[in-house]
Amino acid sequence: MKQGTRKQQIVNVAARLFKERGYSAVTMRDIATAMGIKASSLYNHISSKQDILTNIIIFLAEEFTNGMEAIRVSNISNIEKLNQIIELHVNITIQNTFEMASLNNDWMHLEERLEYYLKLRDDYEDNFREIIVEGMSNNEIVNGNPEVMLFSILSTLRSLYLWIPKKEDLKPEELSKNLINVLINGVKA
Amino acid sequence: MKQGTRKQQIVNVAARLFKERGYSAVTMRDIATAMGIKASSLYNHISSKQDILTNIIIFLAEEFTNGMEAIRVSNISNIEKLNQIIELHVNITIQNTFEMASLNNDWMHLEERLEYYLKLRDDYEDNFREIIVEGMSNNEIVNGNPEVMLFSILSTLRSLYLWIPKKEDLKPEELSKNLINVLINGVKA
DNA sequence: AATTTTAACTAACACTTGTTAGTTTTAATT
DNA sequence: AATTAAAACTAACAAGTGTTAGTTAAAATT
């Protein structure tokens, strides 16, 4: 066995295919073929296609929730909190590039756990927003529209999975440093 | 007729569904039902499901290509070019919110026109990169990693379709202004 | 009013979908 | 060596897929 339980292997292989084609376009037979087995054999390890997706997305969503909570309660400046959020995204994305695609693009295909996922996402955004608003009233962050700041930064962080694989030469710390520079300080000289 | 040819109506309705569920999860029967007709009737106006997707994506990709070309040849500073790129994205996205979802998430399901689309996208990114690199050697843009700047800005602009519908109160010019502020100048006080 | 065009319809096709049932093989444990 | 557990298999199903053929109704044009 390469790594993890057989179920985990299936989830990993599925995540790769989901990233390439999207959840709906990937069939159980596709996943099975990629594993070198028959589609029906998958059901010895997972209970449904939906089960695979749920595993991918909920795991990641909770990972972000936990990371955010640690940042939220820590006793540091709001700018420093932003830095840590950026690092959080870089680290999680580097270790879950395939899975991040499902989180971003296939969450709407969740069924039983959709509501729970949306709750986690909303709370995450609320915490993020709170940091920006606090930082603004502190004069750590420049005056402006907090919504635009929030979604501008978050959009970049959520898209990391798309180009991290294409820039393998860039080390995690290097990437975080560069991102912090651009997102916090902008690009103008 | 509400607007445009019958084909255009179908493409518009399909785009809305594609945004909600993704291309693969939307069936011809879904599109037909949303139009109030039967699936087979769609084929009086379009030649295939693929045809619908191609119409959506290639139209938009060319829209961006044309906009970028106008900016590229114009005689303005590189920072000003960045501003105009931001406005370009805001304007196109406001008028094609649904379609932007397909452009971002379903381009891989293009068949005959996939290569052409990828060419347009690559050229677009090349032009964008060139502006950043030139701006940097001009000292208009701060020294740093141009790739990180490129994908950071572009990620935000490409995600606009996700939150523009949620912030209807924000006027286009207001939005562009705010975005330029954040993307060009950062958030730090 | 007659005719052409546009756009809908019904019916069906060949194929693919996720999934289940039951069985056999391989591997691990006693 | 005997037994149990894990993981593969074959075969099949019911539902859904994009699409075609042929036909009828409505609208526009002559």
Is the residue at A175 inside a domain?
A: yes
Task: Quote the minimal CA–CA distance from B105 to chain A in Å.
Answer: 7
**Which residues in chain A (136-165) have CB-CB distances under 8 A to chain B?**
139-145, 147-149, 151-153, 155-156, 158-160, 162-163
Q: What confidence tier does A3 reach under pLDDT thresholds 50, 70, 90? A: low
State yes or no: pLDDT of A1 exceeds 50: no
The residues in A 14-33 lying below 8 A from B, measured between CB atoms, are 20-25
State the DSSP string of B49-93: HHHHHHHHHHHHHHHHHHHHHHHHHS-S-HHHHHHHHHHHHHHHH
- Report the C-alpha gap between A124 and A67 in whole angstroms: 10
Does A27 fall in a domain?
A: no
Query: Residue B18 domain-assigned?
Result: no
- What is the separation of C-alpha A182 from the centre of its chain, rounded to a whole number of angstroms? 20
Q: Is residue B59 part of a domain?
A: yes
Is B169 part of a structural domain of the chain? yes
Neighbours of A40 (CB within 10 A): 10
Cβ distance of B153 and A187 shorter than 8 Å:
yes
Q: How many Å apart are CA A172 and CA A97, to the nearest integer?
A: 13
Phi, psi of B11 (to 5 degrees): -60, -40
In this prediction, residue A178 carries a pLDDT of: 96
Contacts of A117 (CB under 8 A, 6+ apart): A57, A58, A61, A107, A110
The amino acid occupying position B45 is H
Domain membership of residue A23 (yes or no) is: no
Closest among B106, B183, B188, B111 to B151, alpha carbons compared: B183
Per the structure, how many domains does chain B have?
1
Reported as a single tens digit per residue, the pLDDT across B49-80 is 999 999 999 999 999 999 999 999 999 999 99
Summarize pLDDT for A11-57 with one digit per residue, the tens.
Answer: 999 999 999 999 999 999 999 999 999 999 999 999 999 999 999 99
Host domain of residue A85: 48-185
Q: B164 lies in a domain?
A: yes
* Domain harbouring B131, CATH code: 1.10.357.10
Token output for A67: 């990371």
Residues B74-128 have pLDDT tens digits of: 999 999 999 999 999 999 999 999 999 999 999 999 999 999 999 999 999 999 9
Residue A41 within a domain: no
Query: What is the distance between the alpha carbons of residues B162 and B140, in angstroms, rounded to a whole number?
Result: 31
C-alpha to C-alpha distance for A141 and B188, rounded to whole angstroms: 5
- Average pLDDT of chain B? 96
Distance CA B133, CA B140 (A): 10
